[in-house]
Amino acid sequence: MRDVIVSLFILGSLPTCFRRPFIGLLMFTLLAYMRLQDLTWGFARFQRWSYWVAIITLAGFFVTSGQKRFMTGDLRNWMMVGLGLLVGASLIAGGYLTKSDFEIYIDFLKVLGVAMFTTGIVKNREYLRILVWVIALAFGFYGVKNGVASLVSGGALQIIQGPGGMLSDNNDFALALCMGTPMLLCLGLAETRPLLRRTFIAMVPLTLLTIMATNSRGAFLAISATILLLVWRSKNRVAGFTVAALMALAAVLVAPKSYVERLSTIKEYKSEGSAAGRIAAWGVALNMVKHNPVLGVGFDKFQRNYKRYDPASLSDEEYGPGTRVAHNSYLQIWAECGTPAFLIYLMLILLSFLDLWRVRRLAEERYYTSWILTYATMFEATLVAFVVGSFFLNRAHFDLFYHFVAIVVVFGAIARAEMEGSTAVATPSGGRGPLAPLEWLGGRGFERRTQTRGFARAGRS
């Protein structure tokens, strides 16, 4: 029955995806992050729903009148195009091409394509708001689902794995939830309708519990950095840090003993097996970079070349079985795809942060509170979660990262368009600073007034 419901829901959406490509983007996003197909057990689980949604959506995009562009002219879009070409070049330079190599490369091009398509189809604040809601609620669903299960079991469940796709591994799943947590929190604090506000905020502790249940140490560091950023951006930092400290203390008291013991191994990274293996892999990755600085050893060919660049020349018996990866997204793309690709990857991150900081500064000069400040905080915290979490994971080709780069591109363009020509200055008017309510229903979501009698603007944090 579940298979029938999911199938009818997706098939029924296809005509709308054709007529309104933005709906197609939302459906594709839902399938990518909520993994509706993985909630079934029969025939629907193995259908290529995302493929058909993408085909129908693209057809509608090019056929529908009024659709005149595929992506914006932002530098980050062209950098993603360049990254796609460099990754392809590294694949060819690596030699020994197989069918699976091409399939993995095509999947990566799809990731970049969805990101660039997002910059062309999300044209206003309402579209941006809906897209962010879909992503946040998709992760919130799994946060609540697994958080409740962990509560009911008293923390006795096995390590929680993700639903499938890019989220199948427990570490990848935890990283995605770390990125989704600031979205749930900021959207909740920004919501004016009490029921929705409580719903979003209630998802946060359950999502944190799910992150804990994945037993991912990298996720612990990522969510810690995210919380610190959110507190720093809050209006009252003293109160924020106090609440964060109390939450940390409560988490330590209620956390399963096994989880606390696992976190304690972080400081024993030199002797702890998993951490020591990561450090060894980093050394091998740097050795690959040293000998292949331009195009690397080839896209997704780290494991295939591991022994060749292992300075210790360990055998399988000495090293142990299992997949050998870089365990670091930055070293992964550097070793596999070369220095130019690595620099583009870093620039995508840096330019996204710079864009958010510039938009925030412009908004603070005009408004005391606004949806722009709220979203700047939300996206900044989300990127911090990825930057920290991916330092310990092989996630250079993580779908969600490139999608968020595109979303930040869209956000920057929309925010600047709304601020153009504004002469308002920031004044206190009872709001809550960067996490103040958004006023989408009547009003522009800003609290401002024109400067009079030479008074300087107030209320900036």
Q: Flag whether pLDDT at 434 surpasses 50.
A: no
- 53-96 residue pLDDT tens: 999 999 988 887 565 566 677 899 999 999 999 999 999 998 88
Per-residue confidence (pLDDT) for residue 66, from 0 to 100 = 62
Q: Flag whether pLDDT at 423 surpasses 50.
A: no
Per-residue confidence (pLDDT) for residue 258, from 0 to 100 = 66
Per-residue confidence (pLDDT) for residue 269, from 0 to 100 = 54
Q: Flag whether pLDDT at 425 surpasses 60.
A: no
Per-residue confidence (pLDDT) for residue 306, from 0 to 100 = 87
**CA–CA distance, 68 with 76 (Å, rounded to integer):** 20
3-state secondary structure the chain: CHHHHHHHHHHHHHHHHHHCHHHHHHHHHHHHHCCHHHHCCCHHHHCCHHHHHHHHHHHHHHHCCCCCCCCCCCHHHHHHHHHHHHHHHHHHHHCCCCHHHHHHHHHHHHHHHHHHHHHHHCCCHHHHHHHHHHHHHHHHHHHHHHHHHHHHHCCCCCCCCCCCHHHCCHHHHHHHHHHHHHHHHHHHHHCCCHHHHHHHHHHHHHHHHHHHHCCCHHHHHHHHHHHHHHHHHCCCHHHHHHHHHHHHHHHHHHCCHHHHHHHHHHHHCCCCHHHHHHHHHHHHHHHHHHHCCCCCCCCCCCHHHHHHHCCCCCCHHHHCCCCCCCCCHHHHHHHHHCHHHHHHHHHHHHHHHHHHHHHHHHHHHHCCEEHHHHHHHHHHHHHHHHHHHHHHCCCCCCHHHHHHHHHHHHHHHHHHHHHCCCCCECCCCCCCHHHCCCCCCCCCCEECECCCCCCCCCCCC
- Identify the residue with better confidence: 69 or 147: 147
Banded pLDDT at 444 (limits 50, 70, 90): very low
Mean per-residue pLDDT for 200-213?
91
Mean per-residue pLDDT for 315-328?
62
Mean per-residue pLDDT for 402-422?
89
The proportion of the chain whose per-residue pLDDT surpasses 70, expressed as a percent, equals 80
Mean per-residue pLDDT for 121-143?
93
- 99-129 residue pLDDT tens: 888 889 999 999 999 999 999 899 899 999 9
The mean of the pLDDT values for the chain is 82
Banded pLDDT at 437 (limits 50, 70, 90): very low
The type of residue at 82 is G
Q: Flag whether pLDDT at 336 surpasses 70.
A: yes
Per-residue confidence (pLDDT) for residue 69, from 0 to 100 = 66
Provide the whole-model pTM: 0.85
Other C-beta atoms closer than 10 Å to the C-beta of 282 total 16
Helices 217-233 and 257-264: crossing angle in degrees, nearest 10, is 90
- Identify the residue with better confidence: 281 or 454: 281
Q: Flag whether pLDDT at 342 surpasses 90.
A: yes
By the 8 A CB rule, do 432 and 369 touch? yes
Mean per-residue pLDDT for 218-228?
91
For the ranges 186-190, 416-420, 421-425, the lowest mean pLDDT is seen at 421-425
**CA–CA distance, 431 with 423 (Å, rounded to integer):** 20
Per-residue confidence (pLDDT) for residue 268, from 0 to 100 = 59
- Identify the residue with better confidence: 161 or 187: 187
Q: Flag whether pLDDT at 428 surpasses 70.
A: no
Per-residue confidence (pLDDT) for residue 178, from 0 to 100 = 94
- Identify the residue with better confidence: 359 or 445: 359
Q: Flag whether pLDDT at 249 surpasses 70.
A: yes
For the ranges 55-59, 165-169, 199-203, 367-371, the lowest mean pLDDT is seen at 367-371
For the ranges 137-146, 184-193, 235-244, 404-413, the lowest mean pLDDT is seen at 235-244
Per-residue confidence (pLDDT) for residue 452, from 0 to 100 = 33
| Cross-strand partners of 369 | 447
Q: Flag whether pLDDT at 424 surpasses 60.
A: no
Per-residue confidence (pLDDT) for residue 414, from 0 to 100 = 93
Residue 103 buriedness (CB in 10 A; 0-12 / 13-18 / 19+): exposed
- 354-383 residue pLDDT tens: 999 999 999 988 876 688 999 999 999 999
**CA–CA distance, 402 with 391 (Å, rounded to integer):** 16
